Amino acid sequence: MQRRKFLALSSLSLSTITFSSFKSIAPIRKPIVISTWDAGIEANKAAWQILRNGGTALDAVEQGVMVTESSQNCCVGLGANPDRDGFVTLDASIMDHQFNCGSVAFLERIKHPISVARRVMEKTPHVMLVGEGAQQFAVAEGFKLEEKKLSSEAEKSYQNWLKKSEYKPIINIERTKGENAFAPNKLETGEWNHDTIGMIAMDGNGNLSGSCTTSGAGFKMRGRVGDSPIIGAGLFVDNEIGAATATGQGEDVIRICGTHLVVELMRNGLHPEEACKKAVERIIKAKGIEKSKQIQVGFIAINKQGEYGGYCLQKGFNFAVCYADDKNFLEDGKYIL
Ligand code: ASP
């Protein structure tokens, strides 16, 4: 009996040793880049070009999201829906592998807020510049002040919204029936929507960086700033542990310091997906189930092993993952409600 117990125990510990040694020698998946929503596929392509050629994660996450800022996306960059007074105001943040970070908020008429955020990080003693001051800084840095004009689609969308002037978030509205928010039926109703691109990457040297850029929430109150430019809310990177970014209702991400929480959960040993899930659960705990059903929040994260994951409140969130020339694909975020 004793001998049988001994044999059982030793085979158990042998398999534990073998499993954990296997885990620790599992190759690190790098470089890797992941980003929120399906616009992430195009953004990842640009980031991947940099990563595959030995570039830094910082350059990759800047150049990657610039693709989305340049597109006539409803929710990112100057083509996006305006605030309720008819102005497009943009938020962005960037963070590198040494806790350097920069951000801009409530920025108008600048095509690439992410690059201004990077200049704030690299050229000022500050982390965040907002509004007129951010714009002045951008112009002084050589960024062009674009025309004060809505894209024709955003103009239509705004005119429709003005008919009711209702601030009415509808979750995942950009995704219903696979359309974007400028789809004709959305233009008729002028429905409220919001979206963002958040991107996190690890380069060939194993260094992490992240970026996040958005117009925030379409038809928001003038002056509203969401989570995206707030370090620890919309974006956080700790090069020892991992990186995370967020999308969805920014107010609720700020409330729980969402991405900082995700990184801390990874520090405690959770897999990125599990860490994102726990952060989503924290929102439900803070808000209650009924109110949580009315919003969407999604987190994505990577760790130093190149493991990744995403989790969201409601069905409908997806993210793009790229770690090889022929591996750039969309994954549906698992959801709780
Ligand atoms: N998180 C962004 C904000 O609240 C919007 C979004 O991701 O949809 O400003």
Block means of pLDDT (10 residues each) for the chain, 337 residues, are: 48 45 73 96 98 98 97 85 95 98 98 98 98 98 96 91 76 44 40 75 98 94 97 98 97 98 98 98 96 95 98 95 97 95
Centre of ligand 1 to C-alpha 201, Å, is 20
- Residue 116 carries which side chain, given as an amino acid letter? V
Which pLDDT belongs to residue 304?
A: 98
Do 308 and 262 touch, CB atoms closer than 8 A? Answer: no
CA 81 to chain centre: 19
Residue to mutate (ligand 1; options 74, 224, 247; most atoms within 8 A of CB)? 247
Task: Give me ligand 1 centre to Cα 170, in Å.
Answer: 13
Nearest Cα neighbor of 261 from 247, 282, 240 is 282
User: Which among 114, 276, 122 is positioned nearest to 210, based on CA atoms?
Assistant: 114
Question: CA 25 → CA 29, 305, 316, distances in Å?
Answer: 12, 10, 35
What does the alpha-carbon distance between residue 11 and residue 91 come to, in Å, rounded to a whole number? 56
Give the pLDDT confidence score for residue 170 in this predicted structure: 56
SS3 287: helix
Q: With H, G, I as helix, E, B as strand and everything else as coil, classify residue 234.
A: coil
Q: Whose CA is nearest to atom 9 of ligand 1?
A: 216
Given the CA of residue 91, which atom of ligand 1 is nearest to it? 9
In this structure, what DSSP letter does residue 176 have? G
Residue in the block written with tokens 């009711």 = 164
Output the CA 3–ligand 1 centroid distance in Å. 61
- Per DSSP, helices labelled H in 35-172 are 40-52, 57-70, 113-123, 131-140, 152-164
Q: What is the DSSP letter of 216?
A: E
> Annotated active-site positions, please?
196
Question: What is the pLDDT, as a whole number, of residue 24?
Answer: 56
Distance 167 CA to ligand 1 centre (A): 15
**Ligand 1, residues at Cβ distance < 6 Å:** 194-196, 214, 216-217, 226-228, 247-250
Which DSSP state fits 221? P
Q: pTM for the complete prediction?
A: 0.88
- The CATH label, of 3.40.640.10, 1.20.1740.10, 3.90.1150.10, 3.60.20.30, for the domain at 28-335 is 3.60.20.30
Helix, strand or coil, per DSSP, at residue 83: coil
User: 112-145, pLDDT tens digit by residue?
Assistant: 999 999 999 999 999 999 999 999 999 999 999 9
Q: At a CB cut-off of 8 Å and minimum separation 6, what does 60 contact?
A: 31, 33, 47, 48, 50, 51, 201, 203, 209
Ligand 1 nearest atom to the CA of residue 216, by list position: 9
